[in-house]
Structure 1
Amino acid sequence: MGLFRLLFWIALIAAAFWLWRRLVQKKAAAKPHQTTLPMVRCAQCGVHVPQDQALQSQDRWYCSRAHLEQDSNAGGR
């Protein structure tokens, strides 16, 4: 009788764990995925930065104000 009780509790715990995992996976799938931001390359140093953080002058992008000014002082390329 003791073996039957042990198997019953193991099966009950396994079923509860399986149900819990399914509920957690559904909640994780319901979260919206973060969208990626477009990246641009700095015309001065070549580093890639998100477009919303970059500075633009005509058709060129820069990672900082210093690089924008350095490139404009040099007359652009």
Structure 2
Amino acid sequence: MKYLLVMGLVLVVFWVWRNKREAERDAAAPRAPAPPQRETAVTEMVACDVCGVHLPKSEALIGGRGIYCSDAHRRQAGG
């Protein structure tokens, strides 16, 4: 029975020693710089007045009566 207790104590001591050694190694290791944050461009979305499809405002056709997804819808609406 005492051999089991001694073996358990040795395993606990070894486990504590190993974890402490790993923590010291991690603290001493140089840290890699964080990757630069990319700025994400926010694009305003608009809906076509004829079919309701959402598309970026930069790709939309702006007519006299509204915003359209294609030239055919602009002509259909009379804008």
Quickly name the TM-score band, shorter chain normalised.
Answer: 0.5 to 0.7
**Higher-helix-fraction structure:** 1
For 1:45, the equivalent position in structure 2 comes to 51
- Matched AA of 2:52: G
Q: CA RMSD in A?
A: 2.6
1:70 lines up with 2:76 in the alignment:
yes
Gaps of 5+ in 1: none
With normalisation by structure 2, the TM-score equals 0.58
Within 2, Cα distance between the matches of 1:31 and 1:58? 41
Equivalence for 1:61: 67
Identity rate, percent: 33
CA distance in 2, matches of 1:58, 1:38: 20
Q: Taking structure 1 as the reference length, what is the TM-score of the superposition?
A: 0.60
Q: How many residues are paired up?
A: 62
Tell me which stretches of 4 or more aligned residues in structure 1 moved more than 6 Å: none
